[in-house]
Structure 1
Amino acid sequence: MSERLTRKQLKEDHFIDLVQRAVSYARENPIVVGVAVIVFVGAVAAAVRIGGQAAGVGQGPDNPAAARALSDARQAFMGGDLSAGATALENVRQEFKRTEEGREATYVLANTYLEMGDYAKAEEAFRAFLAKPLYGDLLTDGAHSGVAACLEEKGDLDGA
């Protein structure tokens, strides 16, 4: 026979409550969450770059104009307008395609297109990013996952 639980035995699970509130917030504010994800990816990329510089890999930006353009593109996202940010990133990608900043812009642009639901452009940008791999690049796994997500959204489950 099962025993009944008393109120003293029942305790509120704070972690579950926190997760439920976070999911609810994400559903109510998808643009804010999308911008936060993009900013987080940019911060991770910057941390990777700083870590590489500390280890002696790549001393500073090869092209200060490219670094400035990428910074300006990130500022476009701060206003919360994904399409303006995507346009700015596309400009950086085209103008500085042979720099690390152009490559980073390609990765962030791919994630932006994925967030906007433009899976064809997102897949193209992820594949362009993967076409020029760097040794020890932590973003490569994320790009592979992005391609798989695009293919899945387009209905190509075998390709995903």
Structure 2
Amino acid sequence: MGLITLILAGTGGAAFIAAAPFVLGAVGFTAGGIVAGSVAAKMMGAAAAASGGGVAAGSMVAVLQSAAAFIPAAPFVLGAAGFTAGEIVAGSVAAKMMGAAAAASGGGVAAGSMVAVLQSAGAAGLSAAANTIVGVGGALVGAAIAL
């Protein structure tokens, strides 16, 4: 891949992350479920008919609905896991992850590690750079699935 391709992929990923909640909602994929009579409902009906009555796990409809449900929930999921604005909550999943990371690195949590990144996201939300990385990752996964 050339530099221009990487820059365009990063830009596209960032734009997708920023626009995803609006686009998904506009076509009927919402955190509360698929809106009756929407484009998403028609897609769901076609997918169910094609698979004999249900929407298959991993199908485009399932993936889009999962994304619509997760995007607004990300801050709550991080908080529930123990990654909060103040600190990592004692006894939480985050605390267990932090303990394992500290033990693996000889006593401290390394900057840039998964625990450090999740704590930063829990404290301040995802940065533009993190959103771009997530968007590029999502684009690559989508491209791999399409092949």
Higher relative contact order (Cα pairs below 8 Å, separated by 6+ residues): 2
Q: Does the TM-score normalized on the shorter chain lie above 0.5?
A: no
What TM-score results when the alignment is normalised by the length of structure 1?
0.27
